[in-house]
Chain A
Amino acid sequence: MMTHGFRIDQDKCRGCLSCMRACPTHAIRVRDGKARYIPEKCIDCGSCLKSCPYGAITATTWSFQDMDKFKFKVAVPSPVLFGQFPAGVTPAHIVQGLLSVGFDAVWDYGVELFLASRAVLHYVENWKGPFPLISVSCPVVVRLVQVSYPRMIDQLIRLQIPREIAGREIKRRYAKELGLRPDEIAAVYITPCQAKTISILHPAEGVESHLNGALGISEVYNPILASANQQRNGLPPPAEIPNIVRNSTFLGWSVREGLGRSLARHNSLHVTGLANIIQVFDDIEKGKLQNVEFLEAHSCWSGCTGGNLTVANVYVTLSKLRSLVGDLPEMDAETLAEVNSRYPLEDFSLEAPVLPRPIKGQSGDLREKVRLLQEAEAVLKTLPGYNCGLCGAPTCKEMAKDISAGEASKADCVFFSKDRLSELYKRFLLNDR
């Protein structure tokens, strides 16, 4: 099974070390002049994608063509989508735009946001510890725990996230209304980041997602904008537009710290940015955050509005969302009625628990592993400690582990081998810059 969603084009890769240095979980090595993943260590954060100067890294995607095999296609837009367009483009234009690019319906998952909040609140209030509980809405955070903080795995909230609840309800409702089989209906998330696409195609808990795929905001942006411009150029407004803005919660989700807001009285923290999250997780491990009950963490520093498949400037997006939220009530009667009727009937628990990801070399005989650890520590003492990365590992410490595991040799270090240095120099001369 594929555990991560990136590919490196070996022809385009020049072995420049950018991705290796950018990777927060040390999941990349550069061997023989080409970057490679250690797949089980990748958390799908996209740092490598962003760092590559040669466009050699691509993410798993899903496309309009993948939608064709379905009879009825439903878009589930992230609230971030509505903040992407210039002033004058309203949510109604955007919904109409989605219909014009081939969707048969656009889902307002404001209801699912409320359902999920209620379920999470109940979960937090009945949890016996250990704290803090960690929100599973950002797939990168879930994978970070699986890979780097397996001891905190039970602290991931074992509940469905809103977009998954929406996917399930879409299948159920339209199958009933239209007499279709659930597999003839596509629930497609309009996503601000590639990590969510990957989480839909390859969920962390290993079960199948209720969504069928995802299209990046950047992919639907141009056709929606073209459609919105047409609509604004005198074409009559469409007869029936789903009422997607019934309350401020849906559009305000990314502006108002999402779930954390409904858990304000439970000592919640909202942490953004992968480096900050790692710092907070380290503090949790040290026992420093025992009084925090709930942690909402987003890998992007500005939350989902800063996802790598968004188009507009983050601040403009936030400002636009704030203006759209305007004076809307936090909850409206129609939504409340639907939440109240669905909440008691639905099961929000995760179908399978998220488990720590087995990392190569971390299973097997204990004696052997202790030997490897001690050998790595001994090797590390002999390495220069400059963390130059020229050996192809991001730090001397990682290199020491690679050497003890037999995956690299000391001769890969430029301080030990003149051959290595001349090899790098030759490559430098070959690359036309």
Chain B
Amino acid sequence: MPEVLLQRAFEVRGGDFDKAGETSSEIKALLKEVGIDPTLIRRAGVVTFEAEMNVVMYAESATVVFTLSDEDISIEVFDRGPGIADVDLAMQEGYSTATDEMRQMGFGFGMGLPNIKKNSDIFKLESEVGKGTRLYSAIRLDGAS
């Protein structure tokens, strides 16, 4: 069993574009502080940022749990929101339900979830329509992908 070294929880509010990115940058700062390899920090940053943006754009709120173990960095996002009806479809590059307004802000190109998956060594996505979505991503510290 991997040993948990550090764990933090963050709250993200839906629709809060102003604060979007803060959780991701706090997690990156923690990882930098403990000397994690910059490439891994970048990957963890992409995962958290994209997951955070999904919450801001689609959900009501979410809890982001960041865990650093002696084996990996994991990001878990539990959101309360509409859920995803077709998870497989949502994972396709370019598929998006974003509004025009979101696109004008430079988001909603259907790359978020595929990007998260690309940067993860382990990726899980479960959703219940009308309740919410749970996303799990892990990045191995030994760099193996």
Taking beta carbons and an 8 Å cutoff, which residues of A are in contact with B? 130, 150-151, 153, 282, 285-288, 290-291, 356, 362-364, 366-367, 369-370, 373-374
Find out whether the CB atom of A369 lies under 8 angstroms from the CB atom of B25.
no
Which 9 pairs, one residue from A and one from B, show the smallest C-beta to C-beta distance?
A286-B21, A362-B35, A369-B34, A287-B49, A370-B5, A151-B38, A150-B38, A286-B25, A287-B21
Give complex CA distance A153, B32 in Å. Answer: 14
Write out the residue numbers on chain A whose beta carbons fall within 8 Å of the beta carbon of B138.
none
Asked whether, in the complex, the Cβ of B106 is within 8 Å of the Cβ of A290, the reply is yes
Residue in B closest to A363 when the chains form the complex, CB atoms? B35
**Interchain nearest-CB distance for A313 vs B (Å):** 39
B21 A151 Cβ-Cβ under 8 A: no
CB atoms of B25 and A151 under 8 A apart? no
Assess A364 versus B106: contact at CB under 8 Å? Given A151-B28, A286-B21: no
Tell whether B22 is near chain A: CB-to-CB under 8 Å.
yes
CA gap between A238 and B139 in the complex, in Å: 68
Whether the pair B32, A151 counts as a contact (CB closer than 8 A) is yes
Contacts A150-B38, A366-B35, A373-B34 known; A291 to B24 CB distance under 8 Å?
no
How far apart are the CA atoms of A398 and B35 in the complex, in Å? 17
Q: How far is the CA of A287 from the CA of B70 in the complex (A)?
A: 27
- Give the chain B neighbours of A374 by CB distance below 8 A: 6
Count of inter-chain pairs, beta carbons less than 8 A: 54
Given the complex of chains A and B, what is the CA–CA distance between A403 and B114 in angstroms?
43
Docked-complex contact B70 and A373, CB < 8 angstroms: no
Contact indicator A366/B24 (Cβ below 8 Å):
no
Chain B hits for A153, CB < 8 A? 38
Q: Does B103 contact A (CB under 8 A)?
A: no
Interface size class of B (residues with CB under 8 A): 20 to 34
Residues of B within 8 Å of A362, CB to CB, are 32-33, 35
Q: How far is the CB of A71 from chain B (nearest CB, A)?
A: 45
Question: How distant is B31 from chain A, measured CB to nearest CB, in Å?
Answer: 9
B45 at the interface (CB under 8 A from A): yes
Measured CB to CB, the nearest residue on chain A to B42 is A151
Contact check, B35 vs A369: say whether CB atoms are below 8 A apart.
Answer: yes
Q: What secondary structure prevails in chain B residues at the interface with A?
A: helix
| B64 on the A face (CB < 8 A) | no
Instruction: Note all chain A residues with C-beta closer than 8 A to B55.
Output: none
Is A356 in contact with B5, judged by CB distance below 8 angstroms? no
B6 in contact with A282 (CB, 8 Å): no
Query: Apart from A130-B42, A282-B25, A362-B33, what 12 extra A-B contacts exist at CB < 8 Å?
Result: A151-B28, A151-B45, A153-B38, A286-B24, A291-B106, A362-B35, A366-B34, A366-B35, A367-B5, A369-B35, A370-B6, A370-B34
**A364 lies within 8 A of B35 (CB):** yes
Are B70 and A366 neighbours in the complex by a CB distance under 8 Å? Answer: yes
Whole-angstrom distance from the CB of B49 to the nearest CB of chain A? 4
In the bound complex, how far is the Cα of B106 from the Cα of A356, in angstroms?
Answer: 30
B9 within 8 A of A: no
- B residues 28-82 near A (Cβ < 8 Å) are 28, 30, 32-36, 38, 41-42, 45, 49, 53, 68, 70
Which interface residue of B22, B24, B32, B36 has the most chain A CB atoms within 10 A? B32
Least distance between B65 CB and chain A CB atoms (Å): 16
Complex Cα gap A301–B45 (Å): 30
CB-nearest residue of chain A relative to B44? A151
Please determine whether B6 and A356 come into contact, CB atoms closer than 8 angstroms.
Answer: no
- Nearest Cβ distance between residue B78 and chain A, in whole angstroms? 21
Q: Which among A150, A282, A287, A288 has the greatest number of chain B C-beta atoms within 10 A?
A: A287
Return the chain B residue nearest A369 by Cβ: B34
A-B contact pairs, 19 of them (CB 8 A): A151-B28, A282-B25, A285-B45, A286-B21, A286-B22, A286-B24, A286-B25, A286-B49, A287-B45, A356-B38, A362-B32, A363-B35, A366-B5, A366-B141, A367-B70, A369-B35, A370-B34, A373-B6, A373-B33
The residues in B between 86 and 106 inclusive whose CB is less than 8 angstroms from any CB of A are 106
Residue of B nearest to A290 (CB): B106
CA distance A286 to B30 in the complex (A): 14
